[in-house]
Amino acid sequence: MLSRLFLWVARCRWAPIEPRAYDRRMVLTDPIHVLLIGGGGREHALALGLSRSPMLKTLYATHTSNPGIARLAEPVDVPVSSEEIYRLKQFCDRKAIDLVVIGPEEPLALGWADQLRIRGDGTERWVFGPDARGAKLEADKSYAKQFMRSASIPTAEARIFDRPEHATEYLRSRDELYVIKAAGLAKGKGVVIPKTNEEGLNAIDAMMRGGVFGDAGKTILVEEMLNGTEVSVLALMDGKNIMILPPCQDHKRLGDADTGPNTGGMGAFCPAETISEQVMRQLETDVFVAAADALRRDEIEFRGVLYAGVMLTAGGPKVLEFNVRFGDPECQPLLARMESDLLELLVATASGRLDEIDLRFHEKHAVCVVLASKGYPKDPQLGDRITGVERAEAMDDVFVFHAGTKLDPDGNLITAGGRVLGVTALGETPELARKLAYQACKEIQFEGMQMRTDIASFAVTAPR
């Protein structure tokens, strides 16, 4: 019920568009060729959504070493790298790619969208994902903080340092809890929540002097520690329109009851009913419309997804971070619920036509449980044989998304990354979705498999 409401409130147009009767129109009239960049669970979920569209002619993918993606897409037959991005450009021309979908943050930060947007003949190709300037909202936390301040977007207070001695001096003068963040991209590991001042000082030393994150840790933020429930609110932006998607909740810590180290995400559910309609409205105006205005002010045309990691504090919602891509694993339960044609949605975003989309989601709830390898996140063990995936995915309303898997030379499925699989299930209620996801997880085995047992348990207990 609530999720239907969210969609209604969330369709906001920040540039005036002539009101018109709402009718279902096709964004595409002919099937198209698509290139998908990225190889994790998020991209497997995207590949599945795209492959279901009647408007897809061929799906090509850069990462067909992911067996889930390989089942759905043709491989790209040129080397894929920033140094040789011209090869991917040539590939797009040769295969007449109409839409490029960029999943992860690194290629966006490196300007792949800027490059691939231009065809060999100088005309423009659709790219889902912002240019490098827009991607800075994720790739440079110091820029993002200044951007949020200039747009009056509610966020945690922070000081920015590029000299370790100044950061150290500042820490010594503080007695409240704080969070230390590397400003650049650090594969989700650049945030330290120190328990003691000594831990904080060590983190500064490791980042700024020791170079654990290379250039990404040369500038750091010391941010006030916020308390509350964390939610992921994602919005599609096409340069003119904003479409807020049903909110999700991610579980970042490795262990049950939010214990252990931070990870890329051990599971997620959608919709997150812990967030009220009133707060969604507030986020719409104070975060997304404000961000869209500031992007326009800075002449950045943002065509992709803006993800706000939000802490629901006693003093109102505050943005912890911006990402410029779908969250992972959030993308998995989100897309599992999507009824609209994903291909048309991404084309509409990339071509400034979101106002033509009729966005629909299942009433059902979705829960995704991540199965991680032994040693994750510190030192993931790779190469372990995985069994039972076929049994799990044969279950109704269950999707098993491949994140860190590959086939060995004998064709056996083995672990090839920290987060191995995202087991996603749909159910009439959060309880049922959760139960089904865990039933499916029981079918899957590999050595040292790590899994939280409380994913979505607060969705289950939240008053409805």
Kindly list the residues in this chain that would bind ligand AMP in the complex (CB under 6 A). 156, 179, 181, 191, 223, 225-226, 230, 252, 262, 309, 320-321
Cross-strand partners of 310: 231, 319
Residue whose CB is less far from ligand GLY, 11 or 337 = 337
Shortest Å distance, C-beta 171 to ligand AMP: 15
Q: How many whole angstroms separate alpha carbon 11 and alpha carbon 13?
A: 7
Instruction: Give the nearer residue to ligand AMP in terms of CB position, either 116 or 311.
Output: 311
Interacting residue with ligand GLY among 323, 332, 450, 457 (CB under 6 A): 323
Please classify residue 168 by burial: count the beta carbons closer than 10 Å to its beta carbon, then call 0-12 exposed, 13-18 middle and 19+ buried.
middle
Whether 373 contacts 414, CB under 8 Å: no
User: 73 vs 144, which CB is nearer to ligand AMP?
Assistant: 144
Closer residue to ligand GLY in complex, CB, 250/355: 250
With CB under 5 to 8 Å by kind, the binding choice for 328 among ligand GLY, ligand AMP, none is ligand GLY
Task: Tell me which stretch binds ligand GLY (CB under 6 A): 311-319, 327-335, 352-360, 387-395.
Answer: 327-335
115 vs 263, which CB is nearer to ligand GLY?
263
* Minimum distance from residue 178 beta carbon to ligand AMP (Å): 8
- Amino acid identity for residue 284 in this structure: E
d(Cα 360, Cα 363) in Å, to the nearest integer? 9
Query: Alpha-carbon distance 87 to 155, whole Å?
Result: 40
Contact between 47 and 69 (Cβ < 8 Å): yes
Q: How far is the CB of 215 from ligand AMP (least distance, A)?
A: 17
In 3D space, the residue among 386, 375, 371 whose CA is nearest the CA of residue 451 turns out to be 371
Say if residues 349 and 304 touch (Cβ distance below 8 Å): yes
Check residue 328 for interaction with ligand GLY (CB under 6 A): yes
Please state the closest distance from residue 212 (CB atom) to ligand AMP, in A. Answer: 16
Nearest approach, Cβ of 323 to ligand GLY (angstroms)?
5
Among 250, 284, 397, 443, binds ligand GLY (CB under 6 A): 250
Binding pattern for the stretch 182-201 against ligand GLY, x by CB under 6 A and - elsewhere: --------------------
Q: Which residues contact 329 (CB under 8 A, 6 or more apart)?
A: 41, 42, 250, 265, 267, 268, 368, 370, 401, 403, 419, 422
Nearer to ligand GLY, 324 or 345 (CB): 324
24-30 contacts at long range (C-beta below 8 A, 24 or more positions apart) = 24/358, 25/356, 26/55, 26/344, 27/344, 27/347, 27/348, 27/351, 27/353, 27/356, 27/357, 28/55, 28/343, 28/344, 28/347, 30/55
Taking the least distance from each CB to ligand GLY, the nearer of 190 and 327 is: 327
Which residues lie near ligand GLY (CB under 6 A)? Answer: 250, 264-265, 323, 327-328, 330
